[in-house]
Chain A
Amino acid sequence: MTAPVDTVAEVAAVPEEIQGRSLSAIAWGRFRHDKVGMVALVVLVILLLCAVFAPLICNLMGVDPLALNDTVLDKENGGVPLGCGLPDSGFFCGISWQHPFGVEPGTGRDLFARVLYGLRISLLIALSATFITTLLGSLFGIVSGYLGGLWDSAIGRLMDIILAFPFLLIILALSGVFTQRLEAMGVPEGNPARITYLILVLSIFGWPYLARIVRGQVLSIREREFVEASIAMGSGTGRILFKEILPNLWAPIMIYATLTLPTYIATEAVLSFLGVGVLPPTPTFGAILADSVNYMSIIPSYLLIPGTILAIVVVTFNLVGDSVRDALDPRAARA
Chain B
Amino acid sequence: MVAGATLDFSDDRVLVDALRRRDEAAFIWLLDRYDATLRRVAIGFVRNPASADEVVQETWLAVITGIDRFEMRSTVKTWLFRILMNQARTRGTRESRYDVVADVDEDAPSFDPSRFRRGPGPVKGHWRKNAGPAPWDDQPADHLASAETMAVVAAAISGLPDRQRTVISLRDIDGWTAAEVCDLLDLSEANQRVLLHRARARVRQVLEDRFVVVGP
- A complexed with B: no
